[in-house]
Amino acid sequence: MDLKYLQTFKTIIEQGGFTKAAEKLNYTQSTITFQVGQLEQELSVKLFERVGRRMRLTKAGEQLYPYVTDVLTSVEKLTCFENDLSEYKGNLRIGVGETLLCYKLSPVLKKFHDRAPHAKLFLQSMNCYDIRNELLDGTLDLGVFYENVGGFGDNLTVSPFGNYPMTLVASPDIKKEYADFITPNQKIPLPFIINEPTCVFRQIFERYLQRKSIILDHTIELWSIPTIKNLVKSSVGISYLPTFAVEKELQNGQLVEIETELTDARISAVCGYNSSKWVSPAMELFARLIADHLS
């Protein structure tokens, strides 16, 4: 039995259909159909049945799924060990929130490279909601993100390692002219410079503005925290960021804090993985380094 047929079967279920599985695996639709047909022929059962325009699992398909998951997990374990059982090997796919990647993760990455030089680390800067979703569907092995996104319950196993304050920042010149972000019912002719709408700290500050009935001129959306800071330093607008991301600029006076009533606002950083996923030695090492160096 070809293992790729089992992987295709598992991906169809996890992605919710043949078309999405084909996109995920970079196969044609006909390849997916062929591989399912071959698997059905080998097992002498029908795994999917058509209901209207959709394909759904048969009872046999439902019974097969946990066995397929066990087989593929065992194969993954074997590829991690190869000949030397004490050595960290295999691929490790990790999604990281941008601020955490830029300002917190460097010592962890260095230690991991020193300890596991034969492990292949695939690291991606991602939105925290996307990290959560890709952990849930099994695309990522580990996620380093802000648990404020919620929506995962017991499906993810998470270990908190930091609880960080937030700061509304501006250039000294901007603060001289627009220092009041506490008085309600006002319009402030400044842009808010921040990440995309699903950014956790953007959502915190926008809820505050809504609660206070404070209206800003407009929003400038950028995907780069360093670029956001540069624009704020240049008096283009204001931003609301984790304090650790602007600590250096606050100390040297390039940025200053503007007071708000968000004095208790904090974001909680976690390292997490899918609770049903086998924790490889490389995964365990990376999570342990997070706890050792960032907690």
Number of domains the chain contains = 3
CA distance 254 to 172: 7
Q: How many helices (H) and strands (E) does the chain have?
A: 12, 11
Q: Are residues 97 and 190 both part of a single domain? A: no
Identity of the residue numbered 288 = R
Q: What is the pLDDT of residue 79?
A: 66
Q: Are residues 148 and 224 both part of a single domain? A: no
| Closest to 281 measured CA to CA, from 130, 127, 145, 85 | 85
Range of the domain at 217: 164-267
Tell me the β-bridge partners of 125.
96
Q: Are residues 252 and 262 both part of a single domain? A: yes
CATH number at residue 23: 1.10.10.10
Which string of DSSP letters, residue by residue, matches 74-133?
Answer: HHHHHHHHTT-TTS--SEEEEEE-HHHHHHTSHHHHHHHHHH-TTSEEEEEE--HHHHHH
Q: How many other CB atoms sit within 10 Å of the CB of residue 161? A: 20
Q: Are residues 35 and 158 both part of a single domain? A: no
How does pLDDT run across 206-251, given as a tens digit for each residue? 999 999 999 999 999 998 999 999 999 999 999 999 999 999 999 9
Residue 271 CA, distance from chain mean position: 10
How does pLDDT run across 21-77, given as a tens digit for each residue? 898 889 998 999 999 999 888 888 899 888 877 888 898 888 898 888 888 877 776
Q: What is the pLDDT of residue 84?
A: 45
Q: What is the pLDDT of residue 80?
A: 58
Answer whether 243's CB lies under 8 Å from 106's CB: no
